[in-house]
Amino acid sequence: MTEIVETRRDRIARRQVDKFGERRAQLADAALHTLAELGYARTSLREIAQKSEFTHGVLHYYFNDKVELITQAVRQYEQVCVTRYDDIVATATTAEQLRNDFGAAMATTLDADAPLHRLWYDLRNQSLFEESFRDDVLEIDSHREEMIRNVVDRFADLSGHPLLVSSTAAYAIFDGLFQQALLHKLAGHRDAADNLHTEAAGLLDVVTGQGRP
C-alpha cells in the first residue's frame, strides 16, 4: 500500500514539474517577438509583460530575471532553427540540387525571421560581456555549427570533392556571410536575400575547392 501511495505522489510531482515546464515554454514563446523587436539592452520583464497578455508578476514567478527568460526563448527558437536544412540534406541527390536548395533556404529564413536572427546575434554579442549567457550561447553555437557541417559534408559527398576547411571554419564562413546579409536586410537593402542565395550557394564550391585548376 505504501508503494502505491508513493507512486501516486511521484506521478503528481512529475505532472507539476511538467506543467511548470510547459508554462515556462509558453511564456518564453510569447516573449520571443518582443525580445526580437527591442533587443537585449532595451528589454525588461516589465516591458515584455506590457507587450503580451501576461502580467509582470507571472513572468517573474516563472523566470528569475530577463537573462533566464531570453535564454529560454532563444533555446526554443534554435531547437527549430537547427533542423531547417535537414530535409534539404536528406533529399538532395545531386550537388547542384543541394547548392540551390541550401542557398534558397538561407535566403528564405533571412526574409522571414530577420528580427529573430538579430536577437540571436545580440545574445551572442552580449555573452562576450555577460558570463551568465556564455555556456548557453556556446551550446547553441555548437548546434548551429553541426547544422552547417551536415550541409557541407553532404555537398562534399555529392560533388566528389573533399572539404578544404574544418567544420568550424566552414561554420564561421557561412555565419559571417549570413550576419552580413542580415545587416543589409535590416538596413533596407532589397537585394539582401537574393545576394545571400547566390553567395551561400557559391561558398559551397569554395569550401570544396570546385572550379580550381
pLDDT (average), residues 191-196: 97
CA distance 108 to 89: 16
pLDDT digits (tens, 9 = 90+) for 90-99: 999 999 999 9
pLDDT (average), residues 168-191: 97
pLDDT of 102 strictly over 90: yes
Closest by CA to 126, choosing from 24, 35, 61, is 35
What does the pLDDT read at residue 161?
94
pLDDT (average), residues 15-28: 77
pLDDT (average), residues 22-49: 83
What does the pLDDT read at residue 6?
52
Share of the chain above pLDDT 90, in %: 50
pLDDT of 130 strictly over 70: yes
CA distance 171 to 152: 9
Cell (9 digits) for 51: 507587450
pLDDT (average), residues 137-148: 93
User: With contact defined as beta carbons under 8 Å apart, do 103 and 198 qualify?
Assistant: yes
In the block, residue with C-alpha cell 510547459 = 22
165: Cβ contacts below 8 Å, ≥ 6 apart: 173, 207
Confidence of residue 16 (pLDDT cuts 50, 70, 90): low
pLDDT of 3 strictly over 80: no
